[in-house]
Amino acid sequence: MSTFYVTCAIPYVNAPPHVGHALEFVQGDVVARYHALLGKDTMLLSGGDENALKNVQAANKAGIPVKQFVDTNTEKFLELTKALGCRFDVWQKGSDEKHNFVAAQKLWELCKKDIFKKSYEGLYCVGCEQYYTKEELDENGQCLEHPGKKLDVVKEENYFFRLSKYQDQLVQLITNDTIKIIPDFRKNEMLSFLKQPLQDISISRSNERAKNWGVPVPGDPSQRIYVWFDALNIYQSGVGFGWDEKMYDKWWPADVHVIGKGITRFHAIYWPAFLLCAGLKLPKSIFVHGYFTVNGAKMSKTVGNVIDPFTLIEKYGSDPLRYYFLREIPSTADGDFSESRFKEVYNADLANGIGNLTARIAKLCELNAVHIKNTLPAFSANSHVDQYEFSLALEELWKDIKKLDVQINTDKPWETKDATQIKKYITQLIHIAVALQPFLPDTARKILDQFKGPAIQSAVPLFPRLI
């Protein structure tokens, strides 16, 4: 059996998850479910980026020991994946001993030939866990990802990685799609960035600044491994790197990293360079999604418009939220979330669409005592999902739903009582439900269970209308 390994970004756990995290988890889950339904042995991984400086600062502000703080928040992220109906096979914590004291240190040792120590002074964004040059900041000297937050001026002795050594190789790998970056405009952004000379990057921080939290640098207990050198390696440590070579050989390299646009550089440039240096295989592709806005504004704790996904799931259920993410939010661009628009989409596409169609056909079966012997069709490949075009894939499915609804109106089976015709509706609905499985797994399961035969009865509406 062929394998397919999907990763979602390893979220910082300096705060509980917000609705933007839910978007990425759902996208990763769709990709993994899709390939599993095609008969592949799949692996879906994420976890907790626990060794970041921002976690230490957040824990100190909350007056909670760092370990307790990150454990609590990491568990909330895992709970969210379950509430969304996502099936993560591995949830790898950054503080796990297999990661910290085996995998992270092994990667460091493999890269040792391109690691050196020097004193450095620069502008540091704690939000990004990244040094920036003045040229990389906006006109106000602020980070593009975290406007309004003052950068720290940091001067200390760190270990650096010779990133500049890999510039030409990276240009070639990205240009020829050895590492395929999706969509193309993100690929072009990385190639544009690579037109400037690459700067060697800091890959450690002092114990003093790290508050003795994180992975110790091998052979130098005064330093901790920098978050990106550490956290990106979770993609490997979670599948056995350094501790289970048989497992690692089965799953690595990743078929796709699912990430947000703000961390493209780390995944498309830094991460491949580390792997090239270590003599390890490179990820095959990187799928980059956009961000959420909320009612047209960027989601921000300062503004107070951060949406708690648990509240939405409790109120509306997981599949309606999954549908909105996948149908309404462009998979490779920014998209807006508003509860009023959510309700419109819910009523139009779910309550009046697939929900109403399922209820109509079930009622026809019940009234006409239609019995069937249900055989599930094979799940088929979908070019839109292959290209991570989730919205277009659902658009095609909803065309089939509307077409079947129109067909029923034309045939008027409540007058003809034609059992053969009604059975054809069932067959078409089952095909829709099978195709729906990666996107709305709970809904697909309910439909397939309801129509598995032999007798078919009406049931509770899949999606009661919202007022």
Residues annotated catalytic, as ranges: 18, 21, 125, 128, 143, 146, 298, 301
Looking at residue 144, the DSSP 8-state letter turns out to be S
The C-alpha atoms of residue 300 and residue 291 are separated, in whole angstroms, by: 12
Contact assessment for residue 107 and residue 98, using Cβ atoms and an 8 Å cutoff: no
Query: Using CA of residue 134, residue 138, residue 141, residue 145, what is the dihedral sign?
Result: negative
Kindly give, in sequence order, each residue whose CB lies less than 8 Å from that of residue 219, ignoring residues fewer than 6 positions away: none
φ, ψ (nearest 5 deg) of residue 421: -65, -40
CA gap 385, 401 in Å, rounded = 18
Q: Report whether 419 contacts 398 (CB < 8 A).
A: no
Q: How far is Cα 190 from Cα 188, in angstroms, rounded to an integer?
A: 5
The CA-CA-CA angle for residues 63, 299, 335, to 5°, reads 145
Residues in a beta bridge with 253: none
User: For residue 250, what are the CA distances in angstroms to 107, 108, 240?
Assistant: 19, 22, 9
Do the beta carbons of residue 194 and residue 170 sit within 8 Å? yes
- 3-state helix/strand/coil string of 63-79: CCCHHHHHHHHHHHHHH
